[in-house]
Amino acid sequence: MLQLDEVSKSFDVWPVLDRVSVRLEPGQIHILRAPNGSGKTTLLKVMAGLLRPTSGRVLWRGRPLTARDRRHLGVVLEQPLVYPDLTGWENLALFAALYGIRPVRPRVLRALEEAGLAAARDVRVRAYSKGMRQRLAVARALLHRPCVLLLDEPFDGLDADGQAWAARAVAAAAADGSSVWLVTHHADDPLPADARWTLHRGRLLPAAAVTPRSPQERRTR
Ligand SMILES: Nc1ncnc2c1ncn2[C@@H]1O[C@H](COP(=O)(O)OP(=O)(O)OP(=O)(O)O)[C@@H](O)[C@H]1O
């Protein structure tokens, strides 16, 4: 599905990403854990088509990823992609309209309820707490049931209930066939991983002690 082929990215002279190749298959959960400043966000933005690689290719279903293909991606960045002047409801309804989701109302209502934001749906997001904004950002990324989820610290700022909800929702998306790329600082895996990675001097390397899930643990579409 989504594939990086020998991708390098430099901002100055030194490459932040150095010939990174990886392939995200349907239903797989990949977890990336690496030190601050090692290039995790840069890699995720390249995967999402938000940063252009210096060299190498980002492929969607075997062809170079286009702006149009980005509708298949659900992205959570460190800075939540939500509009502070709109309410929670308006934020999700806007994204639902942009992604051609029909009917908008039941899907958005359900997403807000599942995220624990039903009571705050008519409140402007600038009045949300950090955790509420993060819940909205995760709900937004999942709303159009994307084929690929690219998640930068999606559980940050979430309370125990919020973390459990987000982990359940992402696991359900993977069980339904979405590929998941999850960046985390947490020592414990928030989800059962198919692959664990780290970044060292720009190279994407398998993390030690990789224990893939058994086929029985995984359901595919
Ligand atoms: N737009 C930019 N211009 C110049 N340098 C950049 C830019 N974005 C990132 N970098 C540099 O690239 C390197 C990797 O940054 P990146 O944000 O990808 O790391 P990270 O692993 O996500 O870090 P953290 O764990 O702190 O979020 C850093 O040295 C950073 O200074």
ipTM: 0.97
Domain CATH code at residue 70: 3.40.50.300
| Distance in angstroms (rounded) separating the CA atoms of residues 91 and 101 | 14
Is 79 a pocket residue for ligand 1 (Cβ < 6 Å)? no
Q: Which residues contact 128 (CB under 8 A, 6 or more apart)?
A: 88, 120, 136
In this structure, which residue's CA is closest to atom 26 in ligand 1?
36
CA–CA gap between residue 155 and residue 33 (Å, rounded): 14
Full-model pTM: 0.92
Q: Which domain holds residue 101?
A: 2-219
Q: Which residue out of 8, 10, 11 has the highest number of ligand 1 atoms within 8 Å of its CB and is therefore the one to mutate? A: 11
CB of 28 closer than 6 angstroms to any ligand 1 atom:
no
Residues of the chain with pLDDT under 70: 209-221
Atom index in ligand 1 nearest the CA of residue 44 equals: 18
Given a contact cutoff of 8 angstroms between Cβ atoms, the answer to whether 77 and 130 are in contact is: no
CA distance 32 to 26: 17
Please tell me if the CB atom of residue 16 comes closer than 6 angstroms to any atom of ligand 1: yes
What integer pLDDT is reported at residue 215 of this predicted model?
A: 53
Domain count, the chain: 1
